[in-house]
Amino acid sequence: MYKAPVKEIAFTLNHVAGLGHAMEQGIFGDLSADVVEAILLEAGRFAGEEVEPLAEAGDRQGAKLVDGKVVLPDGWERLYRDWISGGWNGLTGPEEFGGQGLPHMLNIATLEMWNSASMAFGLAPTLTMGAVEALRAHGSEDLKKTYLAKLVSGEWTGTMNLTEPHAGSDVGALRSRAERRDDGTYRIFGQKIFITWGDHEATDNIVHLVLARLPDAPAGTRGISLFLVPKFLVNADGSLGARNDYFAHSLEHKLGIHGSPTCTLIFGDGKYGSEKGAIGWLVGEENKGLACMFTMMNNARLAVGIQGVAIAEAATQKAIAYARERTQGRAPGTAATGMSPIIEHPDVARMLLTMKSLTQGSRAICYACAEAIDMSHRDPQKAKHWQERAALLTPVAKSFSTDAGVDVASLGIQVHGGMGFIEETGAAQLLRDARIAPIYEGTNGIQAIDLVTRKLTIANGDHMRGFIAELCGIADAVAQSNLKGFGETAPRLRSAIDDLEKAGEWLLSRQADGALAEALAGATPYQRLFGLVLTGSYLAKGGLADAADGEGAKRIALCRFTAENLLAETAALADRVLVGASSLNAARIALA
């Protein structure tokens, strides 16, 4: 059913996220548009033909804990091995460890496809890639030598062990502990929950990155260290040794992503080995674990954002296909007798266009974020600019796209009517899967706090001001294009950008005045406002780039729909930021 939108993805990469221009500049060596397209085509084929056929059964069957072993759904172990054989895990990995060193943009684009086909499956590489980033940035040479090649190829998977029952959003509250040993290794003890792909039999080994506290560590986030804890110890020759002392205690019974084993892991209980304690190796410095974990999490946040895009794309495809086939009633203004395809009913068209608009907008935001990450590594002269841009875009890419995933999946159910509520249709699964994405890797509320207090404030707001000037440039270019198809896009986009600017300046001034609570009250509306403005801006940028042919007319018409329907919301969002805090605070008594 899912057909990777290779043309749309390539277009967005090349003309919205700037891959095309960067390749022309030689920034990615001899990478060419043809190679990019060939990679995308083959990824699309694999996602549609190999991954997706196992998605629904994987959901129905789910991952199970059987006699202490985590059993993946039928066919998934083979699927995973086929997938790594295709080289997909190492697409963007470092070449010195066997990776292909391709742009992160391309990695995000292919991640979108795996997640569209099966989000539960797409999670495995998402976590592994995060582990690669963290080890690459913070691991010792020994650790890199032992683990990186296997993680880059995907022969071993990686995990992120952060959450504990009392430490979710508040990482500083975690209690797992680490003890130093004489040989420079550590013993790890504690319980971790919600560990994605925390255990399974698809690979010979699993590399856990685990946050824990040393006995003499300071309280809070400054006393957290990061450890590498392999499932099986690795001998000097690379062969696998003893089983490490941790085990999967249970799997969660979740709303969605059933194929992905979400584990409670218990470390150091003495189940394996003669001495209690899982053996771990320090990554980075003692008590500096959170900084290392953030390397992993920033990467993961964009990778979660693309899950939202992926679900939105899959839901939109499914809904459009259904709405073309399903006939009910007579649409107004149709000459034909008999029932009309429901796509012709204005209200159904409104739902589908909204879905399409949110999908393309959130895709553009995620790709633009990936572009900034790529350029921060490849454009030394502007590295700081691109680092700031990536930092600024990450919370929006994560939150706006995952909210879009949920909203679009829910609209997709609505388009299907009663059939949408029946599991066999698959529309419901998309909503069930999508619903975790606004929560994990930092809830969208946490993203909003990050955006307002750490990203908007970069260079005292000047980076954001520069970005707003860029967005105004897009609106102006639309105005100057004189293309009728854009309708009121230019003034509406301009007005939405003004809302964004006004809200941002207010948030900066509140923080400057020390009124943090007021600023935080407006964080979520501001974050959505930002996402909507970017959606409008990037759809316009695409429309301008593609103005020539028939496809361009479609793109411009969707942009106009977005500007004249969705952007109407920005004024209300800015109003919530500027005015809402006071009434929110007063209304707290209603929650008492």
The residues annotated with a catalytic role in the active site are: 441
Beta strands per DSSP E along 80-167 = 157-161
CB of 133 to a copy of itself, least distance (A): 23
Judged by CB under 8 A, how many residues of this single chain contact a copy of itself? Answer: 96
Nearer to a copy of itself, 82 or 569 (CB): 569
Coil, helix or strand at residue 379: coil
For 453, phi then psi, to 5°, come to -95, -20
Task: Give 219 or 236: the residue with its C-beta nearer to a copy of itself.
Answer: 219
Of 76-84, 89-97, 147-155, 513-521, the segment contacting a copy of itself by CB under 8 A is 513-521
Tell me how far, at minimum, the Cβ of 496 lies from a copy of itself, in Å: 11
Do 251 and 63 contact (CB within 8 A), yes or no? yes
- Identify which of 27, 26, 147 has the alpha carbon closest to the alpha carbon of residue 98: 147
CB of 230 or CB of 426, closer to a copy of itself? 426
Extract the tokens encoding 18.
Answer: 């700037």
Q: How far apart are CA 293 and CA 283, in angstroms?
A: 10
Task: Tell me: does residue 539 bind a copy of itself (CB under 8 A).
Answer: no
Query: Which one of 18-26, 272-280, 422-430, 458-466 is the stretch in contact with a copy of itself (CB under 8 A)?
Result: 422-430
Which residue stretches of 272-339 are H helix?
A: 289-325
Among 1, 38, 242, 255, binds a copy of itself (CB under 8 A): 255
For residues 290-319, which are near a copy of itself according to CB under 8 A?
Answer: none
| Cα 493 from chain centroid (whole Å) | 26
The DSSP output letter for 455 is: I
Residue 536 and residue 562 in contact, taking contact as beta carbons nearer than 8 Å: yes
151-178 burial: b if 16+ Cβ within 10 Å, else e: bbbbbbbbbbbbbbeebbeebeebebbb
Would you say 278 or 573 has its CB closer to a copy of itself? Answer: 573
* CA–CA separation, 407 and 401 (whole Å): 10
Q: Which of residues 399-418 bind a copy of itself (CB under 8 A)?
A: 406, 410, 413-414, 417-418
Q: How far is the CB of 402 from a copy of itself (least distance, A)?
A: 11
Tell whether residue 509 is a contact of a copy of itself (CB under 8 A): no
Binds a copy of itself (CB under 8 A): choice among 24, 424, 462, 513 = 424
Helices (H), 482-546: 489-512, 516-521, 523-545
Q: Which residues inside 115-174 make contact with a copy of itself, applying CB under 8 A?
A: 163, 166, 168-170, 173
Q: Which of 404, 418, 317, 407 is nearest to 364 (CA)?
A: 404
Distance of closest approach, residue 474 Cβ to a copy of itself, in angstroms: 18
Is residue 465 within the footprint of a copy of itself (CB under 8 A)?
no
Give least dist CB 569 to a copy of itself, A: 5
Asked if residue 423 binds a copy of itself (CB under 8 A), the reply is yes
CA-closest candidate to residue 543, choices 370, 338, 343, 357 = 357
Closer to a copy of itself by CB, 100 or 565: give it: 565
- Measure the CA–CA gap between 525 and 531, rounded to whole angstroms: 10
**Residue 217 interacting with a copy of itself (CB under 8 A):** no
87 vs 417, beta carbon nearer a copy of itself: 417
What minimum distance in Å lies between the beta carbon of 205 and a copy of itself?
A: 26
| Number of CB atoms found within 10 A of residue 57's CB | 14
* Residue in the block written with tokens 């009250």: 521
Q: Which is nearer to a copy of itself, 19 or 558 (CB)?
A: 558
Considering beta carbons, is residue 100 or 443 the nearer one to a copy of itself? 443
CA dist., res. 267 & res. 192, Å (int): 8
Positions 320 through 349 that interact with a copy of itself (CB under 8 A) = 320, 327-329, 331-333, 339, 343, 345-349
Cα–Cα distance between 250 and 265 in angstroms, integer? 8
Residue 67 CB, nearest approach to a copy of itself (Å): 23
Residue 545 or 584 having the CB closest to a copy of itself: 584
Residue 485 binds a copy of itself, judged by CB under 8 A:
yes
Range 435-464, binding a copy of itself (CB under 8 A): 435-436, 438-440, 443-445, 448-449
Does residue 523 bind a copy of itself (CB under 8 A)? yes
- What residues numbered 186-205 form the site for a copy of itself, per CB under 8 A? 193-194
Classify the C-alpha dihedral 421-422-423-424 as positive or negative: negative
Question: What's the rounded Cα separation, in Å, for the pair 190 and 209?
Answer: 13
Residue type, 110: T
Could you give the angle at which helices 119-138 and 104-117 cross, rounded to 10 degrees?
Answer: 150
Q: Rule CB under 8 A: which of 21-80 touch a copy of itself?
A: none
Q: Which of 254, 276, 378, 385 binds a copy of itself (CB under 8 A)?
A: 254
Is 565 a residue that touches a copy of itself (CB under 8 A)?
A: yes
